[in-house]
Structure 1
Amino acid sequence: MSKRHHSEPNGGRTGKRPRRVPKKHLYLVLDDWHKGFSFSIHKIDVDALQDTTTDLHHGFPDPAALRLAAPVKRLHMDFTAMGSDIFITTNPCCPHTPALVFDTETAGLTMGPRPPVRLIDTTTFTVAADGTLYALTHRHVHEQHSFEAMSWAPMDKDEPWPSPTMRWSWKSVPSPPPFAMDDVITSYALHPDGHTIFMSAHDIRYHHLPKGTFSFDTRTSEWRLHGDWALPFQGQAYYADGLDAWVGLHKDGYICSCEVASRSSTSAVELEWKVTKEKLFHKDPERRLAFARPSLAYMGDGSFSLVESVLREGVEFKCAFGDRDGCVLHMSTFGLKYDRRGELQTTRHHTNSFVVSKHLQTVSPVVFWM
């Protein structure tokens, strides 16, 4: 989370220039480093990306912004973001391994908060709201969920000097999640009010039967059931103000928009939603990687970025992993709008493809806009 003060529109005092707003970039996380079982964070200029050709590129033109060697081979790392910071759990299976924080504004790397034991190798999803990072955990089937929150908290006055004035801290949300032990969370989204998190649960015992959509108010720590229907997304959706709708990934390769749920009402009627006619991912079923999911990021002003990792053409699955350039990363940027008939369609669609190495079958590319 960024620890900075925002200047006044006129610089705060006469004669002072307003503070320049840093340009945002895409930050792409891949398990592509030639050291093996290690990760890279690539900083990508969207404007330069859109100016490139549609040919297949071998790697990225610039060096990675950060490279991380895994402390244990064949184990993944967890990445999530809030503000201008990327939080990295270097070994999600070990409670004694510290987390790291990469500040994308300063390119600085520092020690982060050690995750609670409840979060070790258990996180279902994370979402930032009200300056706090929330994590829902579900270790195994038939075990209860927990909801954890991480934020900056003041240091105790009686702590020995010198000490920082602020620190990261984890705590359990006082109200436990209202999900049954066999429920899984399939989709979630932050309401445009900035403090209400919506999430949909399915019961895995009955072929993922929808259990309902719930919301959590970060101000009051209260849960609410809104209906026995589910949000039509896979994973996280983002609010796009130009559409006045949530936007996320729909099954079978389409982008989906959905009306925003009311924070206060309960309804038996499913929300209205639409999908694009154009397929933006899963275009080549025979080249799909079974465990690698696409990742979507919202860049503001109705623009999105989508990344997907697939097998390189002519490469067999068993030969694709390792330092072999066996995969292709498709990176798309696009806008969305409703046409005259109210149908959802893409605009300004650009796709660039990069030949990359991949070391872990179960790791998906992750993209952030920061």
Structure 2
Amino acid sequence: MSQPAKPAPPAGRANAKKELSEHFKQYKHVWVFVEQERGHVHPVSWELMGSGRRLADKLGVELAAVVIGPAGEATSAAAAESFCYGADLAYIVADDVLTDYRNESYTKALTDLVNTYKPEILLLGATTLGRDLAGAVATTLLTGLTADCTELEVDADNSLAATRPTFGGSLLCTIYTLNFRPQMATVRPRVMEMPERVEKPVGRIIEFPLGMVEDDIVTKILAFVPDRDKATSNLAYADIVVAGGMGLNSLENFQLVRQLAGVLGAEYGCSRPLVQKGWVSADRQIGQTGKTIRPKLYIAAGISGAIQHRVGVDGADLIVAINTDKNAPIFDFAHLAIVTDAIRLLPALTEAFRKRLSPHTRDRIAS
């Protein structure tokens, strides 16, 4: 018995699909926004260059760095450095109007650049600056944006598959931007591995005009006051991190974490409940809604290890967990589990390390 023929799709829908396909052909290459402030490039930019290089190779396209900043040596140096991390070319928007980050000027620079050269994929770091800029650019371009990604891949039809935690970190979802370009994503610092730096000569550079002057910008910079606490905190990039959780019971006991970190020459951090109680500042929080870390050694004292915390520490080389609960979730992914009271063990560890490690030795551990 013959099967009835399937009805043909409406001509309008078929034409629209064809037009969309032709439109997408205009968008090529992978771009990484190189974030710099006051002459310093944020390390997440080079981490993203490694991921961008992998995506570009799979797609068979070029990898481009996008550097926006003031005219001068720092911006040129950032563009030159991008070639050492895998860039095939670099776009530069350099103007003294861009000396300080302001959403209006940076958004115009990046959106004009995208509209002119049409990248297929645009990646930014999920920093304070990157999050602000990415949201504004995606809104202006009327495209999709997947924030705080933990994995980036290209699927069978060459679409960007951006994976991020959802439902409080209990699930991972993969998001596609099917009908719009460019495909945009932000990635938190330390989620992706830092690629090896390879000395290379400066490659192809395309300079692009900003197209606006100071009088066009409503926001004015009156002064710059650095955040002293964040200037001294290097939690995301520390080689050794000691952190505490609610198992320490009090702010006074949390000082045991700081003391051990001081002896080891380490950074200290905490789980989210301690920030919510006001015991520790938010820039010290580790986990899905805090910092992602990839230290050589991570010591977690009194932290249960829910999935939200695990997301932030999975990249550590060695995880040592101390908890009185032998069934604590952190023991499922820790490399070394110590079932005991952290309040008693931490002072003993601190004293033992203080006797055995000179300041010179601690410096060698960190290096």
TM-score, L = length of structure 1: 0.26
More helix by share: 2
Higher strand share: 1
TM-score, with length taken from structure 2: 0.26
From the CA coordinates, give the structure whose radius of gyration is larger.
2
